[in-house]
Amino acid sequence: MNRAATEEIFRAAVARVDPVAMVEECVSLDGDMLVVTAGDRRRSVDLSAFREIWVVGAGKASARMALGLERVLGERIARGLVAVKYGHTEELNRVELVEAGHPIPDEQSVAAAHAIAEIADAADQETLVIILVSGGGSALLTSPYRDTRFTLSLDDIQTTTRLLLECGAPIQQINTVRKHLSAIAGGRLCARLYPATVLTLILSDVVGDSLENIASGLTTPDPATFSNALEIVERFAIADRLPAVVRALLNAGVAGEVPDTPGPDDVSFARVDNILVGTNALAIEAARTAAERLGFNTVALSSQITGEAAEVAKFYAGIAREVVRGPMLAGTPACILGGGETTVTIRGDGLGGRNQELALAFVREIEGDAEAFRGVTFLSGATDGNDGPTDAAGAFAAAEVVARAIAVGASADDALARNDSYTFFGATGDLLKTGPTNTNVCDIHVLLVE
């Protein structure tokens, strides 16, 4: 088991998507000209055309994004506020921080959304608003939908969020529902910002990097509809368990009795520019460089790996068998890299996250023939440092883990049945704990075969 090399490769991936470095790499100042360059996108903004520059945002990485922006703009920032997950903080001079609940929103999430909505309402044509968006923003900015007929509460949103997270739905579909229950998500924030000029810098935690799904698309047009949201809750058999007011709102939206989220032709997007500055693919490329430097023959499979964690484990175990058997994919020593975001359908009452579940399922795949996997190490880790509601980023799997599990009487089958991967790897000593990284670009999978 080569835990050291596996972790070094993972940490190289995380370091590449450090928000401070990425913002400083993409954003520059030339006199009064603010220039943003990301991939083939280039946007120049004449700051002399604005009375003030405001900065707002939300997400696990938004504090470090704000720190990077403060280093570029300094005292040009007149006011600002970003919402972050508890503990994901930085020392900022110009931008205020609000810590809030994630993945289940709390009262602080509502307070942060209210504060940012008030800032948006005050913006005018002489205001440049720079918005910093990263994964986690859906929970960290929670503004329950309200009109003359429907008044959603925080409890309604919390209940719905728990059901969505437990049913195994992918994040894109979870966010489709959440957008239609929010007063600011799904592009609705832009109606409050108009006619201000809006420049949104986005760090993607969504497979495929669809901007409308990152943090539930605060400043992007929404192609999804109330009909799509209702189809999702029905497909995952949670419609009858939703709060009554949530079901009523979705049904009213489908009937056209509630305005849908705004599409691309809405005037509120006329002065909005959304720019993607960081992705899982960038992290994987950095992991490839680190692995090659360590002497591994490296193959990067994809940054868009999805599916139930236990099924994805079978895929990686199959690749390990193939590499052990011969050089079809890569000669040994080999490093196989992947990224994306798996899902877990919760059936037990244990503790864990999708990365720990994936590693645990890998253990189960190899335990029947562990000797054949000597020299194989697998790691699945969350780039934000928090896998599910735990203090671990992920976990390591290897033949040695199988042996340790036997020694301590831990059963992979039993732990998987209870969704209790954290307890299993805590007993074997194979959790990966990085602490909050203050970045977030989905997950990284590292498979070493020596």
Residue 438: burial class (beta carbons within 10 Å; 0-12, 13-18, 19+): buried
* CA pair distance 270, 195, nearest whole angstrom: 8
Q: Check whether 39 has a pLDDT greater than 90.
A: no
The single-letter code of the amino acid at 92 is L
29, 450 contact by CB (below 8 A)? no
- Sort residue 158 into left (φ over 0), alpha (ψ -120 to 50) or beta: alpha
CATH class of 281-449: alpha beta
Q: Quick check: 329 pLDDT over 90?
A: no
Segment 423-449, tens digit of pLDDT? 999 999 999 999 999 999 999 999 999
Residue 357 scores a pLDDT above 90: yes
Q: Exposure of 308 by Cβ count < 10 A (0-12 exposed, 13-18 middle, 19+ buried)?
A: middle
Name the residue type at position 27: V
Write down the number of H helices and E strands in the chain: 16, 15
Where are the domains positioned within the chain?
3-279, 281-449
Strands (E), 68-157: 77-85, 96-100, 127-133
pLDDT digits (tens, 9 = 90+) for 217-259: 999 999 999 999 999 999 999 999 999 999 999 999 999 999 9
Q: Which DSSP state fits 369? A: G
Q: Looking at this protein, which amino acid is placed at residue 305?
A: I
pLDDT at position 117: 96
Q: SS3 for 355? A: helix
In whole angstroms, what is the distance from residue 302 CA to residue 285 CA?
A: 10
Question: Rounded mean pLDDT of the chain?
Answer: 96
The answer on pLDDT for 351 being more than 90 is: yes
Burial class (CB in 10 A: 0-12, 13-18, 19+), 107: exposed
Share of the chain above pLDDT 90, in %: 97
> Contact at 8 Å (CB) between 200 and 133?
yes
Instruction: Evaluate if residue 185 carries a pLDDT over 90.
Output: yes
Mean pLDDT, range 190-206, rounded to an integer = 96
Instruction: Give the per-residue pLDDT at 164.
Output: 96
Q: Rounded distance, CA 79 to CA 90, Å?
A: 16
Structure-token pair, residue 163 = 């059901």
Average pLDDT of the residues in 9-23: 97
Task: Give the contacts of 342 (CB within 8 A, at least 6 positions apart).
Answer: 305, 306, 307, 308, 309, 312, 354, 355, 357, 358, 443
Res. 326 pLDDT band, cuts 50 70 90: confident
The H or E element spanning position 273 is: strand 272-278
Band (pLDDT 50/70/90 cuts) for residue 71 is very high
CB atoms within 10 A of CB 32: 12
284-304 burial: b if 16+ Cβ within 10 Å, else e: bbbbbebbeebebbbbbbebe
Q: What is the largest CA-CA distance in the chain?
A: 68
Class of the domain covering 3-279: alpha beta
Of the candidates 114, 118, 66, which has an alpha carbon nearest to the alpha carbon of residue 93?
66
The DSSP secondary-structure symbol of 344 reads -
pLDDT tens digits, 122-158: 999 999 999 999 999 999 999 999 999 999 999 999 9
pLDDT tens column, 158-174: 999 999 999 989 999 99
Classify residue 409 by burial, with Cβ atoms within 10 Å: 0-12, 13-18, 19+. exposed
Per-residue pLDDT, 327 = 80
449: helix, strand or coil: strand
Q: Can you give the pLDDT at residue 247?
A: 97
Residue 102 has pLDDT above 90, yes or no: yes
Find out whether 380 and 315 touch, Cβ atoms under 8 Å.
no
Identity of the amino acid at 265: D
Gap between the Cα atoms of 246 and 266, Å rounded: 25
Q: How far apart are CA 111 and CA 134, in angstroms?
A: 19
Q: Is the peptide bond before 333 cis (omega within 30 degrees of 0)?
A: yes
pTM of the model: 0.91
For residue 49, how many other CB atoms are within 10 A of its CB?
A: 11
The answer to whether the CB of 274 falls within 8 A of the CB of 203 is no
The per-residue pLDDT for range 376-404, each reduced to its tens digit, is 999 999 999 999 999 999 999 999 999 99
Mean pLDDT of all residues in 197-213: 95
